[in-house]
Structure 1
């Protein structure tokens, strides 16, 4: 995306995508959280956190969350949202997909409405980096808008097609409707166990 694209958006409106008010966004977050196969994660990573609305829900399922964005104003709003007492520790960083990753591992990575800002080659590298930084059996969740946006290099469908082609990821859950795609993968070369299998129900 052009330099300053997101800074300009947040300068005009602190919540440019209406994360806090649109039913589409609330429903998408509910679907996203419901599709996570584990009740609890040790360490989650959320690039492109924007103003921290999904971050707040991830913090309820993780012992620690690392959330990043490339717009300082968005990060300031996210920090303010997550500053209340007794909230799960969230580490906010000024960082974007396509930049070098830190030497750290996660058992959860969430790419929500962020991957279509990259071109194909950059995104393939991002998914390879995600696999390299996921613990064995860890969860990668992708959620993206399906409609064409003229400014974006890729569509949601193209993003998820690249994810499905990435070595080291095994699909464990899928949701789609006319507007939204959600895919859940495990860092595994085999078929990941289902939630019922993990809980000994089958």
Structure 2
């Protein structure tokens, strides 16, 4: 069963930063890996699903002309709004409240394993319907099993790999996976800049 808002409200009720996003080197390094994997320096319209307290949101806002971020926890949204004032941060419960519009960047960082099979399939369909031609999907997830999560990080990345999107970057470590998928031909950064 998909983890609901109550689960996240309880987490933020115990700590304003329950996963240590602001304090752990692991988290800072993971963000750097994900940001470095993005094939373009700038995006026009970005969407970050499940932004939590906005640590990654703040960094993504530097790379997007417009960035919409969302979370299901009001406490997380409040923190993210303060941390990332250049982003539009909204209270949304996915997949039900998936935003209208098209994006050239969609970020799914540490969020997909909270969905059951049905909701995961719906989120993937929403991504496919929202990602512009030539757009980038960044997915980053913890690989170790967590008892209460309906999926593992590997499960959700495997589901993304079965879509019509093309993988441009695949980074796998013992702790996390970082994949970049594109809608269209997977052209390397060097090729895009005419170096090869």
TM-score of Structure 1 vs Structure 2, range by shorter chain: over 0.9
CA contact (8 A) 2:143 2:176 kept: yes
1:162 and 1:70 map into 2 onto residues whose CA distance is 23
2:4 and 2:82 map into 1 onto residues whose CA distance is 27
Query: Which residue, 93, 104, 109 being the options, matches 2:106?
Result: 109
1:70 and 1:100 map into 2 onto residues whose CA distance is 10
SS at match of 2:11: helix
2:98 and 2:75 map into 1 onto residues whose CA distance is 22
How many equivalent pairs are there?
A: 194
CA contact (8 A) 1:173 1:183 kept: yes
Deviation, 1:2, is 4.2
Q: TM-score, normalised by structure 1?
A: 0.93
2:35 and 2:154 map into 1 onto residues whose CA distance is 20
1:120 and 1:141 map into 2 onto residues whose CA distance is 20
CA contact (8 A) 1:51 1:77 kept: yes
For residue 173 of structure 1, what is the aligned residue in structure 2?
169
For residue 158 of structure 1, what is the aligned residue in structure 2?
155
RMSD: 1.1
1:194 matched to 2:188? The reply is: yes
Where does structure 1 differ by over 4 angstroms across 4 or more consecutive aligned residues? none
CA contact (8 A) 1:124 1:166 kept: no
1:149 matched to 2:146? The reply is: yes
CA contact (8 A) 1:128 1:166 kept: no
Q: TM-score, normalised by structure 2?
A: 0.96
For residue 37 of structure 1, what is the aligned residue in structure 2?
39
Structure 2 stretches lacking a partner, 5+ long: none
SS at match of 1:127: helix
97 and 2 in structure 1: CA distance in 2 versus 1, 3 angstrom threshold? closer
Structure 1 stretches lacking a partner, 5+ long: 84-88
2:6 and 2:155 map into 1 onto residues whose CA distance is 25
SS at match of 2:46: strand
